[in-house]
Amino acid sequence: MKMKRRSIIKRATALEYKLHRLIVNKEDFIAYIQYEINVLELIKKRRAHIHYNFKREEIEFPIIHRINSIFRRATNKWKDDVQLWFSHVAFCKKWTTKNQISKVFSAMLAIHPDKPALWIMAAKSELEDRDSSESARHLFLRALRFHPNNKKVYQEYFRMELLHCEKLRKQKQELEMAEMDLGEYEFSPEILSGKLAEVVYRDATGKIKEAEFVISLLNIAAIFDFTKELQDSILQDLQTNYTEDSLTWDFMAKRELEAPGVGEELQSAKGRASDVNRREERCCQVYEEGVTSLNTEPMWTCYVAFCVERLKRKTNVQELKEQRQERLLGVLQRAHDSSLLKENYYQNWLQILLSSGDAEGAARVAMAATQRYSQSVSAWSLSLEALMHLGSGDVGRLFQDALTHVNPKESLPLWQLQVQWSVANQSPEETEAIFKRGLLSPVAAVAIEMKKSYLDWSYSTGGYKKARKTFTSLQENRPLSKAFFTRMIEIEKEQENPKMNNLRDYYERVLQEFGTSDEDLWLQYIQEELGPLGQPEKCGKIHWRAMKFLEGESVERFTSKYTLFQAGHI
C-alpha cells in the first residue's frame, strides 16, 4: 500500500514539474488533470469495495481542489479553448459543489460573452443543477444585453419561465394534496398562469417580428398543459400580425389535421379514411385562403409541399389515394398557371402523370418546365428524360434548344443524355456527329468527357480497328485526360493478341502529358514491361526516366511505392 502511495506521489510530482517549465503545453495540463481524475475514480471504486465512506475531506477534497486549480491555470492560459472550459464544467458537475459550477460559468462568460450557446448552457445549469430560477433568469437577461435579437436565447428563456411555472404548480398541488397550510408559501396566481413567460413572449416578438419565430414559441408553449390561454393569445397574434408570411398560413392549415374527428366513423378503415380526407379538405380550405390573400411562390410551395406529403402517406383505401392525387394535380396546375411553381415540383408532377399513363399530359408538363426554367440544366434533363421515355419525335431538336439556353459550363449532363438518346434512337453517323460537336466544346470538361465516350462508343460499335483509328485522330487534340489514354491501354490488353509496341506507344504518349505528376503511370509502365509481353531489361531505364521527370512530392511517392512493389506488397 505504501509502495502504491509512493508511486502515485512520484507520478503526480513528475506531472506537476511539467507545468512549471518555461514553455508549457496544454497537453501537459490535460495529462495531469486526467491522472488526478483517474486517482479519484480508483478511490471511488475502493470505497465501494470496502464500504468505507469516511475522511472525504482528507482524501478526495484535496485532489478535487488541486484539479480545479489546474483547470483554472489552464483556462487562464488558453482562454479561447471553449472545449477546455466545457471539460472543467463536466468535472465540476461530477465531483464538486454546485457553487463551483456557477463560478466556472461566470469566468467563462466573462471571456466569451459573444457566444449565445454558453449563456444558455449557464442558465440551464442554474435551473437544473442549482434549482435557481432567479439566477437562470438573471443570466438570460444579461445574455439579451449582449444578444438582443438572438432567437435561441429568447426561445430558451421562454422555455425556462414555463418550466419554472410548471414546477411551482406541482409544488402547490403536492402541498394541497398533503393538506398543508399554504400560508407561508407564496404562489402568485399570475406566475402560476404563466404571466412571466408571456412577458418574455411580448419582449421577444417586439424585437423579432417573424412568423417562424412566433410559431417556434407557440410550439414550446404547447408542450405544457397549463398554457391554453397563452397559446390562444399567441395564435391570435399570429393571425392578426403575420398573415403576410406563408409560414403562418402553412401552420394554421396543418393545425386542422389535429382537429377532433367523429367517433363512430373511426371504427372501420373506410371511416378513418373519410375522416382523414375531411381533415385534409379543411387544411386545403385554409391554404386556399392563403393563396388568395398571398399569391406568392413561397405560399404555393407550402400548399404543394403539403399535398405531396399527404400523397406519400400509405393508405389501403384506394379512394383516399385517388382524392389526394387529384388534389395535388389540381394544385400543381394552378401554381404553374400562376408561374409560381418551384422547379423541383415539376418532377413530382411528371412522375404522377407518367405512372398514371397520361402521356399527353406528361409531354405537356415536360415542355412547360423547360419554358418556365429555360436556363436550368436539371429542368431540361428531367423534361428530356420524360420525353425520351414517351418516344417523342421532337427530342433531337429539343437537345439543340437546351444547349443554346443553358450555361455551357453546366451542359455536360445534357451532352451525356443526348449521346445516350442518340445511341438508342439514331444512326451511327448521327451519333458520331454529336460526338464531334461535343469535341469542339469550349468547355474542357465537356470535350474531355466526350472524347472518352467517343472512344468507348467506337470500340463497342466498330471494334478494335475503329477504336484505334478514333484514338489516333484524337490523341493530339487538347484538352486531354489520363482516362482517355488508360482506356485505350485497356482496349489493347483486351485483344486476343495485344501488341506490346502499341502499349509502349500509349504509355509514352500519356507520360508526355502527365508524366511529371502521376507516379502511378510510371509504375504501371514498369509492371507492363515485367509482364509476359514486356522486356524486363527496360525497367531500369523507365525507373531512371521517372526519377528525372517526376516533380515535387510525386518523386517521394514513386520511390516508396516502387520499394513496396519490389518487396511484393503492391
Instruction: Kindly give the confidence (pLDDT) of every residue in the chain, 570 residues in length, as a single tens digit, with 9 standing for 90 and above.
Output: 444 556 666 665 656 655 666 567 788 888 888 888 888 888 788 777 777 777 767 777 888 888 888 888 888 889 888 899 999 988 988 887 777 888 999 999 999 999 999 999 999 999 988 888 899 999 999 999 999 999 999 999 999 999 999 988 888 787 777 666 655 556 677 777 778 999 999 999 999 999 999 999 999 999 998 999 999 999 999 999 999 999 999 999 999 988 765 554 556 778 888 888 899 999 999 999 999 999 999 999 999 999 999 999 988 888 989 999 999 999 999 999 999 999 999 999 999 998 888 888 999 999 999 999 999 999 999 999 988 888 877 888 999 999 999 999 999 999 999 999 999 888 999 999 999 999 999 999 999 999 999 999 999 999 999 999 999 999 888 898 999 999 999 999 899 888 999 999 999 999 999 988 888 999 898 888 888 888 888 888 988 998 988 888 888 888 888 888 777 666
- Cell numbers 509502365 correspond to what residue? 525
CA distance 387 to 396: 11
Helix, strand or coil, per DSSP, at residue 1: coil
Contact by Cβ (8 Å): 509, 485:
yes
Measured CA to CA, the distance from residue 221 to residue 158 in angstroms comes to 8
Provide the CA 395 distance to its chain's centre, in angstroms.
36
Nearest to 334 by CA among 362, 295, 381, 392: 295
* Cα–Cα distance for residue pair 510/481, rounded to 1 Å: 9
Q: Is the dihedral of CA 139, 142, 146, 148 positive or negative?
A: positive
Sign for the pseudo-dihedral over CA of 208, 211, 213, 219: positive
Measured CA to CA, the distance from residue 445 to residue 567 in angstroms comes to 39
> If we measure between CA atoms, which residue out of 200, 108, 193, 187 comes closest to residue 160?
200
Neighbours of 424 (CB within 10 A): 9
Cα–Cα distance between 448 and 442 in angstroms, integer? 11
The C-alpha atoms of residue 273 and residue 279 are separated, in whole angstroms, by 10
Q: Is 518 helix (H, G, I), strand (E, B) or coil?
A: coil
Residues with Cβ within 8 Å of 394's Cβ and at least 6 positions away in sequence, in order, are: 387
pLDDT at res. 483: 92
Contacts of 411 (CB under 8 A, 6+ apart): 377, 403, 441, 443, 446
Check the CA dihedral 426-430-432-434 and report its sign: negative
| Single pTM value for the model | 0.76
Q: What is the pLDDT of residue 2?
A: 43
Asked whether the beta carbons of 18 and 28 are under 8 A apart, the reply is yes
Per-position b or e across 168-190, b if 16+ CB within 10 A of its CB = bbeeeeeeeeeeeeeeeeeeeee
* DSSP reduced 3-state for 295: coil
Count the neighbouring beta carbons within 10 Å of the beta carbon of residue 274. 18
Query: Cell 437577461 belongs to which residue?
Result: 141
